Amino acid sequence: MTCFDGAASVGGGREGCQIVPARESKNAAKAAFIEARSVRKSFDGVPVLDGVSMRVSGSETVSILGPSGCGKSTLMNIITGLIPADGGDICFAGRIGYMQQKDMLLPWKTIMANVTLPRIIGGADRREAEAEASPYFEMFGIEGYENKYPRELSGGMRRRASFLSAFLISGDVMLLDEPFGALDSITRGRMQRWLIDVKRKVGVAIMLITHDVEEAILLSDRVYLMSDKPSRVRDEIEVDFFADEKSRRLLSPEFMEYKKRILDSL
């Protein structure tokens, strides 16, 4: 089944979800998107995802907001092909990068070696990968730390290094699983503003998981609210105020209106 012209990956209907192994479509030049349709997944007979559909495209930022354990990470693992679904379809165009919930930096490798590792595993030459990564260290706020080890960086800097690593292999669509979840609130606020800024410069599509209502409103163009497991999309909310100046959202009256709307819906 071909569900879109330009989609690289389609599922196999009722028999299960089939995903191409490389998370890169041949149509990277086309408008990038990911679409999950009616994705179902059980673990040991316990249903977790009960027909979840969502999409992200172009340069929008979409948040997935839902209670702990409802299957948010599972959905991203399915989208990126790490685990199979029981049913549904995943369609995408473009290159997908994935920053997982836990810190994947290897403690015995330098930041440069960590950041370029996925590119090198993907077949890139080490020098080429380093030359490609170098100019981004400044934008990602970790310049001067190329030869340091993860333990020498703050939590926020480690997250930015992970983000850069995922960005270098994606370029089109980024999946971020609770990117700022483990950070203190001051660092978290700085990282959110930083993400808005970097996003404007690099123009990727972002799908991010959060359990923080305010973070979802601040960063998103759209928010998917998920129910408890077996989970479905309970609501989809367009967030369309200060779309081009998201950092102004926090102090605006609309912010509280959206917060109330989301809390009422959860």
Ligand X SMILES: Nc1ncnc2c1ncn2[C@@H]1O[C@H](COP(=O)(O)OP(=O)(O)O)[C@@H](O)[C@H]1O
Site for Mg ion in 74-113 (CB under 5 A): 101
Choices 49-57, 72-80, 128-136, 249-257 (CB under 5 A): range interacting with Mg ion: 72-80
Pairing outcome for strands 33-43 and 87-93: antiparallel
Rounded Cα gap, residues 68 and 152, in angstroms: 31
Residues numbered 131-160 forming contacts with ligand X, rule: CB under 6 A: none
Closest CA to 255 of 207, 219, 224, 226: 219
Provide, rounded to whole angstroms, the least separation between the CB of residue 9 and Mg ion.
Answer: 22
The residue within the footprint of ligand X, chosen from 34, 48, 56, 93 (CB under 6 A), is 48
CA distance 51 to 128: 42
For residue 64 the two structure tokens come to 């997935």
Tokens 């041949």 map to which residue?
26
User: Considering beta carbons, is residue 49 or 93 the nearer one to ligand X?
Assistant: 49
x/- binding map, residues 74-113, to ligand X, per CB under 6 A? x---------------------------------------
Strand order across the 96-99 sheet: 96-99, 173-177, 205-210, 61-65, 222-226, 233-238
C-alpha 81: how far from its chain's center? 14
Instruction: Count Cβ atoms below 10 Å from residue 232 Cβ, excluding itself.
Output: 17
SS3 179: coil
From the list 62-70, 124-132, 200-208, 216-224, the region that binds ligand X by CB under 6 A is 62-70
Out of 52, 70, 112, 115, name the contact with ligand X by CB under 6 A: 70
In the bound complex, what is the minimum distance in angstroms from residue 102's beta carbon to ligand X?
11
74 binds, among Mg ion, ligand X, none (CB under 5 to 8 A by kind): ligand X
Tell me whether residue 72 or residue 222 sits nearer to ligand X (CB atom): 72
The residues that touch ligand X, with contacts defined as CB under 6 A, are 43-44, 48, 66, 68-74, 229
